[in-house]
Amino acid sequence: MGTLYGVARISTGKQNTARQIRNILKAYPDAIIVKETYTGTKLEGRKDFEHLIKILKEGDTLVFDSVSRMSRNSKEGCELYEELFNRNIILIFLKEPHINSEVYKQALQNQIKLDFNVGDKATDEFMNSIIEALNKLIIALARKQIEKAFEQAEKEVLDLHQKTSEGMLTAKLAGKQIGQKTGAKLTTKKSKKAKEQILKYCKDFDGSLTDVECIKLIGISRNTYYTYKKDLKINIF
């Protein structure tokens, strides 16, 4: 029996793989999880995934939460699917089970195995040509399902990029600030609270404690403390 891998992929550092991993482990608790963050649609550059593809052996299994986690480029996705299928790697897509490699394999095995031989050459050739055409149709339909799934995954990515761009343009035209202003510092609830404590306790402001005592009391790093203190001095003095 081969090794079972679960592949969890995200496209930005702001996302996380928790949902994908949860879905994979729910269906396959023994799966070895391979995680990666990669923003592109092409396979080239996905170092962790490329390494996994190289070490796969016949009989190994790859589980994906969805087809888009394997590839968001329809052409490369189909080519990789065929390559892994021909290497006897089992492919499982939790959200698109109709294109699992075992389903494709079953379609290939379900070809009509019948050789007409009724004694009339013209009839035999005609019937056998129909059977051959039906078998090609079975394979073509199976491949089409796979292509359609990857094409849909690629379309979803393109649609998302377009909606994001349109949303940003609409907001910009409406006079809204997109992203952080140049030179502006990001303020979080945590940093705001820490600065309030520095103002209250530090002897350089309204308090009586030394810097070392403040750092210990507030529970932040030395570098963070002095960064916040510098910001406060700039804004106050």
Confidence (pTM): 0.55
Give the integer Cα–Cα distance in Å for 52 and 5: 9
Give the integer Cα–Cα distance in Å for 91 and 20: 16
Q: Which residue has the tokens 């799966």?
A: 31
| pLDDT per residue of the chain (237 residues) written in tens, 0 to 9 | 789 999 988 766 556 788 899 999 999 999 999 988 755 544 444 678 888 999 999 999 999 998 888 876 778 888 888 889 889 899 999 988 888 888 888 877 766 555 656 667 777 777 777 767 766 665 676 677 777 777 776 676 666 667 767 776 676 667 665 555 555 555 678 888 889 899 888 888 888 899 998 898 888 998 899 988 888 877 765
Give the integer Cα–Cα distance in Å for 81 and 99: 10
